[in-house]
Amino acid sequence: MAQVDGEQRSSTQVQRMNNLEYLMWLLEADPLLTSQFANLTMLDSVPDIDRLRARLDRAAQIVPRLHQWVEEAPARIAAPCWRPDADFHIDHHFRVTELPAEYRRPGGLERFACALDQEPLHRDRPLWEFVLITGLDGDRAAMVQRMDHTVTDGEGGLRMSMAFIDLERDAPDPPPVDRATGSSGGGLPLGNLLETIGHSTRKRWNWTVSGIGEVVDHVRHPTRLVQTGAEVIDVAGSLARQARSVDRRLSPLWTERSQDRSLATTQFPLQRVIDASRSAGVTVNDLFTTAVVEAAVNLHIDAGTVPTEFRAAVPISTRDGASGGNLFSPTLTILPASPDLSPEERLHAVAEVMNRAKSERSVAAMGSLAAGARLMPTTVLTKVGKWVTSNIDLVLSNLRAAPFDTFMGGALVEANYPIGPLTGAAVNVTTMSYRGKMDIGVHTDSAAVDNAKDFTDGILAAFEALTS
């Protein structure tokens, strides 16, 4: 038995989407608002395909959401639930392709990965696909790992990967899995971590109903101080500050939106960022955020515009040990973009803003906000969602992977470049720390940002300035 929201439940009980997952699911009715994300993994060689395929098949039996599809409730009487796919076959989720000739030029692999990421996942199957790409220079390979955000968040995806990665090139085969129970004869190295996937996504109906009225009232009247105690007043004030974050577009340059995407990747030594952050008395995430903002400011100036502020969406993790599902709260904040600030001044200004964002009471209230939003008709919800997200300049996320070597099918994982979802925003910059490097993926709306590579070069230059 597992403890969930103060009550006991059986592992055989139906698992439903949590409020945030359901909101993302409904918003995906508009292709511009898709929350699908991906990762471009670089491998030092072509892996043993049969071995990798077997490992992924095994992982899909261990990790519940990798073998489950989404069943919607009629008339939205409840959130969609996760059902085992009786027709699950690994070949529906793993395929091998050679890099097409038209992509065999500098930046071509990133463009191909971006094109793969834009392919919609089949909603009548488990919502993920891994594509192994061969034909790279030096007999190397790459893999694009695509997943719908309703399955898990970025951190949960990293924990899921523990079910199929190895810690040595010639690792022995793991014990077989009982497909009826999803358990391993030799015991799972993840223990209860993987058993509890999805448990925290269940919300009691009475909690949802009681929260909707209060939250919707705050949305309609975000500055009203309801006389229900200091806690409600704090949340109302926080929501008022969040509401200010979407009242208008801030970037004078990134004003257009489309479904055309670009991807650029780069790396930077993690230890340099750690040392510089400690010296400045800020966090690694503060310095990462500042480097992105500094690059964006310079990009605007080069285009003949003068920014003052950028609107950023930052996921704040609420994860406390569970490995799957979406355990984060999205929050919006305004980042200082005045060209008059030096990199050091901007760093401390960003650190102050980010500390305030982490403490916002509305972060904890986002689940209730999602519960209220799901009662709207889909057409209204997507219209509101598009208005909100199109006013976001930057989506920023900082993930941590293994600090040591990992392997897939006998091939060394050299780098992991995230392809974070835009969901209507102009730019998503996500970094993943792996093997002592910050692997950075810059995913852009091509209508808003002319050249993702220029942006990426600017981020590197900003890191150099901030860590020198």
Give CA–CA dist 284/270, Å, rounded: 9
Rounded Cα distance between 285 and 190, Å, is 28
Tell me the C-alpha distance between 442 and 432, whole Å. 12
**Rounded (10°) CA dihedral 335, 339, 341, 342:** 120
Residue 440 amino acid letter: I
Query: Token pair of 165, please?
Result: 């990665």
Mean of pLDDT values over 449-462: 97
Quote the tokens at residue 220. Answer: 């309609």
210: pLDDT strictly greater than 70: no
382 versus 205: the higher-pLDDT residue is 382
What pairing do the DSSP bridges indicate for beta strands 37-43 and 141-147? antiparallel
Mean pLDDT lowest among 130-144, 263-277, 317-331: 317-331
Which percentage of the chain shows pLDDT scores above 90? 55
Q: Bridge partners of 399?
A: 432
Q: pLDDT at position 345, please?
A: 97
> Tell me, what DSSP letter sits at residue 23?
H
Q: How many other CB atoms are there within 10 angstroms of residue 124's CB atom?
A: 10
State the burial class of residue 77 (Cβ atoms within 10 Å of its Cβ: 0-12, 13-18, 19+).
Answer: exposed
Q: Please write the tens of the pLDDT for every residue from 31-66.
A: 888 888 999 999 999 999 999 999 999 999 888 889
| Cβ partners under 8 Å of residue 178, min gap 6 | 184, 185
What's the CA gap between 49 and 432, in Å, rounded? 25
| Higher pLDDT, residue 162 or 432 | 432
Report the length, in residues, of the chain.
468
Three-class SS state of 225: coil
CA distances from 437 to 274, 279, 367, 399 (A): 11, 19, 34, 12
- 443 in Cβ contact with 428 (< 8 Å): yes
How does DSSP classify residue 257?
-
- Decide if pLDDT at 259 tops 50: yes
- Average of per-residue pLDDT values in the chain: 80
Per-residue pLDDT at 250: 93
By CB atoms closer than 10 A (0-12, 13-18, 19+), residue 298 is middle
* pLDDT score of 180: 61
Cβ atoms of 194 and 163 within 8 Å: the answer is yes
Is it the case that residue 229 has pLDDT exceeding 90? no
Closest CA to 389 of 113, 87, 23, 129: 23
- The pair phi, psi for residue 191, each rounded to 5°, is 55, -135
CA distances from 264 to 217, 261, 325, 419 (A): 42, 10, 28, 9
In this predicted structure, which of 50-59, 68-77, 155-164, 367-376 has the lowest mean pLDDT?
Answer: 367-376
Q: Do 229 and 44 contact (CB within 8 A), yes or no?
A: no
SS3 for 87? coil
Q: What is the model's pLDDT at position 55?
A: 92
Reply yes or no on whether the pLDDT at 213 is more than 60: no
**pLDDT confidence band for 21 (50 / 70 / 90):** confident
Q: How far is Cα 134 from Cα 77, in angstroms, rounded to an integer?
A: 46
The pLDDT confidence band at residue 400, using thresholds 50, 70 and 90, is confident
Can you read off the two tokens belonging to residue 360?
Answer: 């916002």
Question: Are 415 and 41 spatial neighbours (Cβ–Cβ below 8 Å)?
Answer: yes
Query: How many whole angstroms separate alpha carbon 65 and alpha carbon 133?
Result: 24
Helix (H) or strand (E) holding 12: none
CA distance 294 to 191: 43
Q: Distance (Å, rounded) from C-alpha 208 to C-alpha 210? A: 6
- Nearest CA to 171 out of 423, 411, 463, 366 is that of 411
DSSP characters over 372-409: HHTTS-HHHHHHHHHHHHTT--EEEEEEE--SS--EET
The encoded tokens of residue 242 equal: 């969040």
- The percentage of the chain sitting over the pLDDT mark of 70, rounded to a whole number, equals 74
Alpha-carbon span 145 to 132, nearest angstrom: 9
